[in-house]
Amino acid sequence: MVDSLSITASAVDPGLLTLPWSTPLADWPSNHIVFLPKGISRHLVRFATLSGRVVAIKETTEEMARREYDMLGNLQRLDAPCVERVAVIAGRTDAAGEPLPAALVTSHLRFSLPYRALFTQVLRPDTATRLVDALALLLVRLHNVGFFWGDVSLSNTLFRRDAGAFAAYLVDAETGELHESGLTAGQRAHDLDVARTNIAGEIMDLEAGGRLEGGVDAIAIADGIMESYHSLWGALTDTETFRSDEIWHITERVHRLNDLGFDIGEMSIDTTRDGTRVSIQPKVVDAGHHQRRLLRLTGLDVEENQARRLLNDLDEYRARVSRLGSDEEMVAHEWLTRVFEPVVKAVPFEYRAKLEPAEVFHQVLEHRWYMSQERGRSVPLAEVLTSYIDDVLQHRRDEATVMGPPTETTGIPVITGELALSGGEEDEVDWRDLV
């Protein structure tokens, strides 16, 4: 019954009115549904097509839907890693006029996967550790802006590949609270304790299902979030004291944070009465140091570790090839057009849903290193590309929107309009032009 609907949306999308809101989500027809892997949820969640993209729809109470919708909006304004809100649908009724649950609609995060979908056979210890490290960094970033999660877990997180590591995104803000004055040590400790307990349970669940490599200690993996979190939090917030003639410690602290991927927006600097000692403490710290630099130089918006890797290649290019001297912006444009873009465009169209462009470029660089080590010489990038596409990329599964396991409904097409690595028409690439 469209007339009774109440739609609160972050942007007007007429396609919202075409979805079958008068039908319980569990009974939606197959032409609206896309079957993607999802984490464990206390609510019914299904993926649907909306105006050529994929969205996640969760049935819940109107109060909870509106609360989570508002919370996601606040987190987005704070630049916290989370899914993008789309709409709240309230006032739903079925054909008989009986009320149906409200629905929260969020965008599907492209190239993201729930932790269970990041492995095909068994979960290896190094993969589990990287997931936990990514979750620890996400928790640090959320706590840094005053967000108390309340239900930290791998299941409530989505992961994207990030140059050999993972980037974590909050996908369920239902239990969260935002505190403008910051979190207490007790609140942060509570989130950490919940995280450790939930992670241990999730890893043990994999073990019970035979999906954990032998010898992996689920408790040790879960405990890893404590060390990773405290190390990061200390780097961001600890007070450091030194002699007044050692002011180089200030620059050193800034560089340490930059290396971790953070920028200092404000720092507290205090001196003793006799002026012999200086204390510094970061007060405002923003994540995304390398992301911002790469975006400024090239317009590429990628994950932090990917940005770091691309910037390293850009710096190497400037030292090795560029004829433009020290003009960083000009060199960046030359690198973008002569190195990065030709690699991306060289990927056959049918493989462009497998990995996002920055991850492809990172893996090509990794592949070049291994080939060069094996052959004892530098291998031309064009040759590396051919080998990577034929021997590695074509054998990967698509990750832009990965199909879930078979269900009772088959033959559901996956949305492909949003999956290409780069938009527009196919471009001809002469690999001989690659550096």
Which run of H or of E encompasses 333? helix 328-335
At how many degrees (to 10) do helices 218-237 and 248-260 cross?
Answer: 140
**Residues 393, 319: one domain?**
yes
- What's the structural domain count of the chain? 4
**Residues 230, 260: one domain?**
no
- Any idea how long the chain is? 435
User: Closest by alpha carbon to 62, among 24, 101, 26?
Assistant: 101
The token pair that represents 314 in the structure block: 């850009």
**Residues 156, 228: one domain?**
yes
89 burial level (CB within 10 Å; 0-12, 13-18, 19+): buried
Domain boundary at 107, 137, 161, which? 107
> Distance (Å, rounded) from C-alpha 178 to C-alpha 195?
18
In order of 385, 388, 395, the CA distances from 391 in angstroms are 10, 5, 7
pLDDT in tens, the chain (435 residues): 445 789 999 888 899 999 999 999 999 998 898 877 666 667 889 999 999 889 999 999 999 999 999 999 999 999 999 999 999 999 999 989 999 999 999 999 888 888 887 765 677 778 888 999 999 999 999 999 999 999 999 999 999 988 888 999 999 999 999 999 999 999 999 999 999 999 999 988 888 877 777 767 889 999 999 999 999 999 999 999 988 888 888 888 988 899 889 998 888 889 888 888 889 888 888 899 999 999 999 999 999 999 999 999 998 888 888 666 668 888 999 999 999 999 999 999 888 888 889 999 999 999 998 999 888 888 888 899 999 999 999 888 776 654 443 333 333 333 333 333 333 333 333 433 344
**Residues 304, 418: one domain?**
yes
pTM over 0.75: yes
**Residues 10, 79: one domain?**
yes
Please compute, for residue 409, the number of CA atoms within 13 A of its CA located in the half-sphere on the CB side.
Answer: 15
**Residues 393, 328: one domain?**
yes
**Residues 296, 429: one domain?**
yes
At how many degrees (to 10) do helices 328-335 and 304-320 cross?
Answer: 100
**Residues 183, 269: one domain?**
no
Domain boundary at 216, 237, 258, which? 237
**Residues 100, 123: one domain?**
no
**Residues 298, 429: one domain?**
yes
Domain boundary at 78, 107, 136, which? 107
SS3 state at 348: coil
**Residues 314, 383: one domain?**
yes
Domain that holds residue 422: 290-433
Q: Residue 208 maps to which CATH number?
A: 1.10.510.10
Q: Residue 34 maps to which CATH number?
A: 3.30.200
